[in-house]
Amino acid sequence: MLARIEGAPAGTRGISLFIVPKKRIESDGSLAANDLNTSGVYHKLGYRGCPIVQLSMGDKNDCHGYLVGDANSGLKYMFQMMNAARIGVGLGATAKSTAAYYATLDYAKTRCQGRKVTEKDPLKPQVPIIEHADIKRALLFQKAVNEGSLSLLLQSAKYLDLYHALPEGDEKEKYNLLTEILTPIVKTYPSEMGVHAISQGLQCFGGSGYCDDYPLEQYYRDIRIDPIHEGTTAIQGMDLLGRKALMKDGKAMLLLMEEINLTITAARAIPELAPKAEKLAEALGTQQNVTAALFKVAGEKGPEIFLADATLYIEMFGIIAIGWQWLLQGVKAKDALAGNPSKADLNFYQGKLFTLRFFFEYEMPKIEGLAVRLMSSDAVTVEMETAFFDD
């Protein structure tokens, strides 16, 4: 548990880390109750199978906590755990959203309703709903979010493994910085967009999706906590913009741009992918312009306005990061297709290329709107008075 020692410095500098056991070891080696009790159970929107409780400490003034490490270093210790936990949240959100996708895909293939819009004969049999363009759009959105998220998670895992495997030096620092700058995105994009992806799945089910005959109603409830777990999206955005983008005088950001540009260069050599590579390059340019403009705002107007739209900043950055991963997958898919693949592999890689097309046509354009807002001088959320929210 995080707690303060009496007389500790104010603010986060005075937080320490403690172990507070249910039972403590007495001097004679026996176990004694540690005045730590469950005083309530939280009834959550999701996570029905997880008993999350409220603890009451010291009702009898006999609760003992044991300091872990140095006093006033609790926040630093917590973040050693927190980064791994944030990656875990992104992975869990991806898993839930992926499970929802496969349930939706199965339903869409077997549920017959309506006919092609070009078919005017009402006596013709109805078609599986996967034949309708809007259902394909919803499924492509889910596939793009899920497989893009998993790809980014694996990319981050690769960097983290290299960091742990390499000896001290510039390469080790490189992969540590890449892990650091990607962690808020790896946590945020799958959790935020996973909610939207499962919502699109529910749209495919229609009213049936609200019934527990199908699993999406549970996945939808369970994933909603992930944008909150281990630091809300706003906290991740402020971490990315206010700390990670500035880390080591911007070195982490520059290293990530170099990695993305390597993929852009590889894709430019493939005619089918070259236009997508240009779109990603343009998006990177937009991101750099937005970042520079925000840093200028920080110097002129202070941190409150600078960080006011950090949530939008990480949304924009997340789209670019997933676009990078889809372009990287596209390069690998084109290489595989050049090798005379089997029918099953052919469908797999063609599916990858179509999903890449979808992401660049449907998701990447969102960057433009986000950039307009992020570079606007209208500080409406800062200037809005609390009293104005009253009825």
Percent of the chain with pLDDT over 70: 100
- Mean pLDDT over 240-263 rounds to 96
In whole angstroms, give the CA distance from residue 255 to residue 174.
7
Question: Could you please report the per-residue DSSP string of 145-185?
Answer: HHHHHHHHHHHHHHHHHHHHHSPSSHHHHHHHHHHHHHHHH
pLDDT tens across 102-149, in order? Answer: 999 999 999 999 998 888 899 999 999 999 999 999 999 999 999 999
36: burial class by Cβ within 10 Å (0-12, 13-18, 19+)? Answer: buried
Pairing type for strands 2-4 and 15-19 reads antiparallel
In whole angstroms, give the CA distance from residue 75 to residue 82.
10
The answer to whether residue 391 scores a pLDDT higher than 80 is no
Question: What's the one-letter identity of residue 68?
Answer: V
- Nearest CA-CA partner of 309 in 242, 230, 368, 252: 242
Q: In what order do the strands lie in the sheet with 2-4?
A: 2-4, 15-19, 66-68
Strand segments (E) across 26-87: 31-33, 36-41, 53-57, 66-68
Percent of the chain with pLDDT over 90: 91
Per the CB < 8 A criterion, the answer to whether 231 and 89 are in contact is no
Predicted confidence at residue 242, as pLDDT, reads 95
Convert 305-327 to b/e letters by CB count within 10 Å (16 or more is b). Answer: bbbbbbbbbbbbbbbbbbbbbbb
Structure tokens at 187: 């946590």
pLDDT tens across 17-43, in order? Answer: 999 999 999 999 999 999 999 999 998
- The widest CA-to-CA distance across the chain, in whole angstroms, is 87
Structure tokens at 243: 């700390």
Per the CB < 8 A criterion, the answer to whether 198 and 97 are in contact is yes
Prediction pTM value? 0.93
Per the CB < 8 A criterion, the answer to whether 38 and 54 are in contact is yes
Predicted confidence at residue 301, as pLDDT, reads 94
Query: Could you list the active site residues?
Result: 230
Q: Which residues contact 59 (CB under 8 A, 6 or more apart)?
A: 35, 37
- C-alpha angle 1-3-82 in degrees, rounded to nearest 5: 50
pLDDT tens across 210-232, in order? Answer: 999 999 999 999 999 999 999 99
Task: Assign 84 a pLDDT band (cuts: 50, 70, 90).
Answer: confident
Structure tokens at 58: 């010291």
Predicted confidence at residue 343, as pLDDT, reads 93
Residue-range domains of the chain with CATH = 2-68 (no CATH), 74-231 (1.20.140.10), 236-388 (no CATH)
In whole angstroms, give the CA distance from residue 86 to residue 156.
12
Q: How far is CA 351 from CA 326, 348, 354, 356, 384, in A?
A: 12, 5, 5, 9, 47
Q: What is the dihedral of CA 295, 298, 301, 303, to 10 degrees?
A: 150
Question: What's the one-letter identity of residue 306?
Answer: F
The answer to whether residue 49 scores a pLDDT higher than 90 is no
Predicted confidence at residue 342, as pLDDT, reads 93
